[in-house]
Amino acid sequence: MIQFPIKFGRDGFVKLAEGSTDYYAQLLTISLLTEPFTHPFAPDFGSNDPTLRIIDKATFVLNAARFVPEVRISNVSVSESAMPSGKSNVSFSFEILPG
């Protein structure tokens, strides 16, 4: 059985330890890579389609607060690539809230 969040490791797929920094980083990254209305049971989950516009930092922070309340986003940086692909580079930092 494959469970999320996961990473591909030396020995194949590995389930990340729940509550770890890698676990939350993976969840937050998935929210950045998911377009809104992709999931019918959580249509607000996800960020804007970066193909047509830059990722909305406020939407990302609000979704993190709503869907991953165990963390607080402390910084979000979005920069557009100068390459013809038009990709955006997104980096973020967060803190895990005491539980």
Torsion on CA atoms 50, 54, 58, 64, rounded to nearest 10: 30
Is residue 93 predicted with pLDDT exceeding 60? yes
Q: Are 60 and 92 in contact (CB under 8 A)?
A: yes
- Residues, the chain, total? 99
- pLDDT tens digits, one per residue of 33-90: 888 888 788 888 877 665 656 677 888 899 899 989 999 999 999 886 655 566 678 8
| Domain hosting residue 52, numbered range | 6-96
Is residue 1 predicted with pLDDT exceeding 50? no
pLDDT band at 14 (very low <50, low <70, confident <90, very high): confident
pTM for the model: 0.75
The answer to whether position 1 is within a domain reads no
Domain count within the chain: 1
